[in-house]
Structure 1
């Protein structure tokens, strides 16, 4: 053999020998000798105590799934036992994370490109203690101040770390967060047998969830949670998968939860994708509780006070939307009080204020279920929500204050349609449409529209919740309300062609209905033609006071009303009659006096004036005094009602009759008996 081939053979032999020795050293090396160095370096880098207290081992194995020549390159498979990472000195618990065992493998070829690629990490027996203080310091943030200072003097590292999946075992997590006011402990345990995601979804899941069944892993662990959140007790349980894909949206992580926070009950199942990228949640969500308003404390979403509710719908959450986290609760169905509720709501966590938009529908809405919106629900309903009744004894107008501070937490644009409103069988309102806009604490309800007895009540409400006391304005218009539809069970109304029209404008300041009305300025105008009044009508309406007055004036007979005129001026909560007249076949009934909305006191006189010389049963004037809660009607000790005094009455009524005549115009072209009465009033003026 010549010298050249000998040199080549010697070189190759030497190289093989070195590699063989290296492989022998690596395979037989006691990696535990490196633990002190690793612990010291890691502790210095993290500025926390770090220790591998158990066995440290490295095994080399080929990755056959790599394909081609790469499949011949062995990968280091690293395992470490009894691993502890400490917390900062200020933390309550000295231990941040404990792991009974950690297993991972690293791609050696990726290291050539300055990339630490770890396809999967398996954590056995994890225990974590997470804490965040009110000043923002958290145990899961590692030397943030130091990193920010170093960022000004050092260049970014060219190395990157890529972790594909995390597998975990049964463990415990403690979470104490002063900012979000959460203090909970979670325990994770292995299920006796995995549960297929398809068994959870079944036919109840959404089409999107059923489509993801094939690629969704089984539920492998159960979990329980106990503690407090937003000062509400929290308890719950659920199930999760065992392999969390950090980047791959094609590997959804299954979640099932049944949690109670105070009176709120949440039941959800679905998937989480790409948690490191703040990916998305796709859940079927059921919510129930005593009032939608109680969700504000838990979620920060401003919703109105309601009766008990329950909903069932599809919730999607996109956490990495540039405009802010996007929550969409779509095509849900539910119940509020005894009313059904359907629709879609979308909540965007944008800056400077979040925004809620949506469209809601109720096929049958009980009028009583609207009472909590203005604090007019019963004490029993308030107690069921865990609230103390603030309504003073003898006070009728609601004194519960609007929670206007919540209005400034978010904006809103929500439309609500009540297909049919039910007050009771005798007095139905046909429908409701409301468009609510909330912008920087100012609430505008425009329109507020009720369909009523073939006509409509249209209104606009503006509440400036960004000021205290709150300024408010109400404009309401009643048009073409058919009396025979308004009182369908009253015999005398069945053939009536009469209608009711009216306008009301009020403005005031205050943080409750009682305060707003008690300080209000404005007016109320109302016309009713071709109607009837009777004791039975008062009984149907539940008006005991009206029952008494009608009996005194007319006995038990039904009396036709040609026209009723109401004109009230309101100043500082005191309503005064400018004109309040009932024109019947036999007499004009005049009502005069005041109604004090601030003190809730009534001082009214009801004076009958007979027409012509006909003698009838209207003998003496009546009065109504006392409070809204306890009115005191009676008969005035006065001369008999004057005969032939109707014309004289019209001559003395002080009222802008021309303005009242405008209320006749919207009616149909039929004869309206109020026209003649108002013309006489104009002539008298």
Structure 2
């Protein structure tokens, strides 16, 4: 053997001997002797007490699963018992336990080769009986926040980041507990985890939709958990199941989760998987939500939704938590009910800056008009109480006093389209084809358009509510076109032979945080034109107008009277509505209405004056009045002095000369057939609401 070969042989033998000696040393060394050093170093790095109180062991094993020559490389396996990590000094006496966290035992193995490129690779950690006691004070100090050690050269600067990288593959756990006292969020929770005893297959709970395809290899449910306490002041209870091994980085190993949680009046059921939690990966869940009102989700999720009747939904929730534009949550193909209305669609919530945004498309095949009442506070006190709302509608008021929650409007943006195929109000008022495009941007809410199909025509509106101003500023424009009278009153037989239509415009602006407050100081105008209709007491019964029953009975008795034209042009100034023109041209009389309706006080003060056509003995009827409140109107007959005033109306032109502004409402009808054409003059300008103050 040459000298070079002998040198190489002895060098290799020496290297093997050193490695063997090192292995023997590690295998036989009493690692408990280094515990004081480890405890001291870790405590210094974390800035709080750390201790391994039990045995510390290291032993070597090969990893056959590595394959090839790596299968013969021994890996060190570590085991430490009775580990505690203390709380920061400021938390002393404020937590249930003196320790931030504790473990009965921790076991893990370390891949040796990655140490050569400064990577601590731990494929798996198993935690036995973990527990944690988490605390956050109202000033923001949190026990789970660790202060970095300061540099010696500059105590005010944090230490340089370590070149070493920690890479953990999976975390296994056993029976454990976690408590949380978050004084900033007014939250106190207690979580307990226990083995199930017998694993539950993922597909048994998730169903085919989630268990099929790439979810076929999802592990079984191994542990059960229970949760109780308070979240943001609301009582919280929950239970569910999870898997036994949490893969922190491997997207091919989804972690199964299942939960049934109730928070206040809201209930949620989820089943699905969590992927890549260390890198804020993805969620794929089947989510069922139910509660007394969607508005109650705001304190739980930060998502601004309207007041609604009781609801329930069922859909698929997918989340991309590491998207560069912000965490995205997709609630796909969900179906549900809101009150007695169905609801379907897709929604996307992006947790972006400066405000999160909700967008999507919703539809309802059958929408009850009563279920829209809570949107403007027009629901009953009983319904409000069921949803947990404290505001009550005064017994003597008609206009809703429930305030809009404009503070929530500024917490989120939105861009949502809604379509309602069939709207159920009553058999006597056919409504269909609702469409609206809702946009919320920094407190400014617009519905442009909000459109209904009504009685063969359309009600088209544009609504602008600026919740960024205090009080709220509003602007509403309405346009009613081509309402067919025979469809508007399908149960009134005499109207079925009519070819008449109803057309109208309204433009109103105001300020205030409720419908009542807005109308109390509103400015604007309303215009209405009815061509070729009929009127009777039974018609008023259909409309539910008690005053109308009285008035029509006094004017016409029980007879059905043809209306050639009905025209109204009402101006509104500071909440006081006053007719500029309000006239009925019937086959035997001209009837005019004058007076005021006060939206601030909800008071009525109207005079109704008939003027007979032609020469008829004793045919002139006495003027009537309508007074009282919107809630309790009172009607009666004026005494003779007012009757004499009514008799002075001898020419139609005197009563309706200002009605020229209504001529544009004839346009949707055939002008030659419209009975109002002879009554009205040419209109110069369309309805226009006073512009609110410009938004700063």
Name the TM-score, length of structure 2 as normaliser. Answer: 0.93
Superposed CA offset, 1:23-70 (max 9, x none):
443322222222122112211221211111111111111111222222
Query: 1:276 aligns to what SS in structure 2?
Result: helix
Paired position in structure 2 for 1:198: 203
Q: Deviations over 1:495-538 (max 9, x none)?
A: 11000001111111111101111101111110001111112112
Tell me which residue corresponds to 1:178: 183
Mapped to 2, the partners of 1:276 and 1:507 lie a distance apart of: 52
- Tell me if structure 2 keeps the 8 A contact 1:442–1:466: yes
Residues 332-379 of structure 1 show CA distances to partners (whole Å, capped at 9, x for unaligned) of 111111111111111111111111111111111111111101101000
Residue 165 (structure 1) aligned to one of 161, 170, 175: 170
Secondary structure of 1:591 counterpart: strand
1:71 paired to 2:71: yes
Secondary structure of 2:361's aligned partner: strand
| Structure 1 residues without counterparts, runs of 5 or longer | none
1:610-625 matched pairs, under 5 angstroms: 610-615=612-617, 619-625=621-627
Q: CA deviation at 1:135?
A: 3.4
Deviation at 1:647, TM superposition (A): 7.0
Whether contact under 8 Å (1:554, 1:617) holds in the other structure is no
2:414 alignment counterpart: 412
Taking the aligned partners of 1:143 and 1:79, their CA distance within structure 2 comes to 27
Conserved in 2, the CA contact under 8 Å of 1:588 and 1:646?
no
Distance 1:298 1:20, change over 3 A: closer
Structure 1 segment 255-654 matched on structure 2, within 5 A: 255-615=257-617, 619-638=621-640, 648-653=650-655
Distance 2:570 2:502 in 1: 16
Paired residue secondary structure (1:139): coil
Whole-angstrom CA distance in 2 between matches of 1:400 and 1:380: 14
Q: What do residues 561-591 of structure 1 show as CA deviations (whole Å, max 9, x unaligned)?
A: 1110111111111111111111111111111
Would you say 1:95 and 2:103 are equivalent positions?
A: no
Q: How many residues align?
A: 679
Q: TM-score, normalised by structure 1?
A: 0.94
Distance in 1, Cα, partners of 2:90 & 2:357: 37
Q: What is the aligned counterpart of 2:192 among 187, 191, 212?
A: 187
Whether contact under 8 Å (1:226, 1:234) holds in the other structure is yes
Match of residue 156 from structure 1? 161
In 2, Cα distance between equivalents of 1:101 and 1:130: 20
Deviation at 1:126, TM superposition (A): 0.5
SS in structure 1 of the partner of residue 194 of structure 2: strand
Q: Check if 1:214 corresponds to 2:216.
A: yes
Distance in 1 (CA, whole Å) between partners of 2:389 and 2:377 is: 11
Deviation, 1:616, is 6.8
Structure 2 residue runs without a partner (length 5+): 685-696
Q: What SS is found at the alignment partner of 2:65?
A: helix
Q: 1:603 to 1:472 in 2, by over 3 A?
A: same
Counterpart in 2 of 1:104? 108
Question: Once the 2 structures are TM-superposed, how far is the Cα of residue 155 of structure 1 from its aligned partner?
Answer: 4.2
Question: Aligned-pair RMSD on alpha carbons?
Answer: 2.5
Where 1:25 maps in the other structure, the secondary structure is helix
Asked whether the equivalents of residues 46 and 146 of structure 2 are also in contact (C-alpha less than 8 Å), the reply is: yes
Is the Cα contact below 8 Å between 2:662 and 2:681 reproduced in 1? Answer: no
Matched residue of 1:420: which SS? strand
Using the alignment, how far apart are the partners of 1:21 and 1:440 within structure 2? Answer: 70
Question: Which stretch of structure 1 is more off in the superposition, 15-24 or 614-623?
Answer: 15-24
SS at match of 1:468: coil
1:122 aligns with 2:114: no
Give the whole-Å Cα distance in 2 for the aligned partners of 1:8 and 1:479.
101
Aligned with 1:250: secondary structure? coil
Instruction: Work out the CA distance in 2 between the residues paired with 1:194 and 1:607.
Output: 83
- What is the Cα deviation at residue 667 of structure 1? 1.4
Q: Distance in 2 between matches of 1:157 and 1:145?
A: 12
- How far apart, in 2, do the equivalents of 1:458 and 1:258 lie? 43
Distance 1:599 1:4, change over 3 A: closer
Q: Which moved more, 1:110-119 or 1:37-46?
A: 37-46
Contact 2:258–2:272 (8 Å) recurs in 1:
yes
